[in-house]
């Protein structure tokens, strides 16, 4: 799989690889989740088992009260924190930053399957 140049991981010093994504206003949850997954997957393939550090910024995506809209809340809480964090040494999203206490898992899945939750 070819990863577009704009989502290539950026090499760091001996501390690991910096993975950076800006979720722009036109991106929804699915598009952003897929881009971030490709970053993590590509980093594992190109730099096997090197610590991965995710940095996520979000442009727009605000509700009337100034908080994040539902897509970006889900992206941060349910996707990055609840699912993807185990494949990262640490992550930094607008809501919080954290380091994985046990280290990252390097068994990154081959593909991402997103299923909508039933109401």
Mean pLDDT throughout 99-116? 89
Whether the pLDDT of residue 2 is over 70: the answer is: no
Instruction: Please check whether residue 111 lies inside any domain of the structure.
Output: no
40-65 pLDDT tens trace: 999 999 999 999 999 999 999 998 99
pLDDT of residue 23: 95
Instruction: Please check whether residue 89 lies inside any domain of the structure.
Output: yes
Instruction: Please check whether residue 36 lies inside any domain of the structure.
Output: yes
Residue in 81, 72, 76, 83 with CA at minimum distance from that of residue 112: 83
pTM of the model: 0.83
Which of residues 115 and 33 earns the better pLDDT score? 33
Q: Which domain range does residue 66 map to? A: 8-99
Instruction: Please check whether residue 61 lies inside any domain of the structure.
Output: yes
DSSP per residue over 82-113, as a string? TTGGGG-SEEEETTEEEE-TT-------SS--
Instruction: Please check whether residue 39 lies inside any domain of the structure.
Output: yes
Instruction: Please check whether residue 22 lies inside any domain of the structure.
Output: yes
Q: How many structural domains is the chain composed of?
A: 1
Instruction: Please check whether residue 77 lies inside any domain of the structure.
Output: yes
CA–CA distance, 74 with 117 (Å, rounded to integer)? 12
């Amino acid at each position: 799989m070819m990863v577009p140049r704009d989502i290539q991981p950026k090499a760091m010093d001996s501390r690991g690889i910096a993975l950076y994504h800006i979720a722009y206003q036109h991106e929804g949850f699915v598009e952003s989740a897929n881009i971030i997954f490709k970053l993590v997957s590509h980093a594992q393939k190109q730099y096997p088992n090197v610590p991965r550090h995710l940095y996520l910024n979000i442009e727009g995506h605000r509700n009337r009260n100034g908080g994040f809209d539902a897509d970006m809340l889900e992206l941060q809480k349910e996707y990055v924190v609840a699912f993807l964090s185990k494949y990262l040494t640490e992550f930094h999203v607008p809501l919080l930053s954290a380091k994985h206490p046990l280290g990252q898992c390097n068994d990154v899945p081959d593909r991402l399957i997103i299923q909508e939750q039933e109401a």
